[in-house]
Structure 1
């Protein structure tokens, strides 16, 4: 493992780090019960997290109101065992030996809550699958 702790580490990346990657990081943090080191970043970070993503996560008991979009750095990629990209294309740095997954998900930007809920639910399902692959039991939400 390349993380700074003995925990597995996961980095979620999307363009603005305001919706999909923030929801994924929120779910992984909550569902792993602290057993996974979680990071998120964007290739062109927004000024704030998408308020509809915040609302959608609050509906399922995950609070991401304190999160801020962060710029993607080479160091964050190097420090992560798993890098999950969500539509950042060629802007995501690639390092041989890293485990990469590309989750094709609709972008919640500009969408209403009814459109964001299914995206949120799909992210939760994928995060649960990732936890299973990492051998980390999922906490109840």
Structure 2
């Protein structure tokens, strides 16, 4: 890993879990970590319930857009995290691959998405403690 680790969150549609994870990592780690998110079959827009759930904790992801997963994004990342949706990242030597088993917020109401959001925060906090400990910049 370089001085500034990079993390790629991958989910099928890049509209819910991966967007929330990227937002948490950006919010909690500041500029200590380079953050990317992508999907194998990106949706048209970020899930509005995920947007609302993140807004409740003071993080605005309304301007985010789903992005397509590319080999270059994987190659440029130190850690690639799939979000329990069965996606597979291309495998490159020297990369770390994790799969976070998370419920899918698609089609769920806000009451169901809040616990997913909160679980993602805990996972992101643990990741930060491991790859980029210290105060946010």
**Structure-1-length-normalised TM-score:** 0.91
Output one character per residue of 1:7-45: Cα deviation in whole Å (capped at 9) or x when no partner.
110000000000000000000000001111000000000
Tell me the residue number matched to 2:22: 25
Aligned length: 136
Structure 1 portions without partners, runs of 5+: none
Structure 2 portions without partners, runs of 5+: none
Any idea what SS the aligned residue of 1:33 has?
helix
Moved over 3 A (4+): none
Cα RMSD after superposing both structures: 1.4
Alignment of 1:7 with 2:4, yes or no, is yes
Alignment of 1:124 with 2:121, yes or no, is yes
Alignment of 1:103 with 2:100, yes or no, is yes
Q: CA separation in 2, counterparts of 1:88 and 1:106?
A: 9
Q: Which moved more, 1:73-82 or 1:127-136?
A: 127-136
Alignment of 1:1-141 (within 5 A): 1=1, 6-137=3-134, 139=136
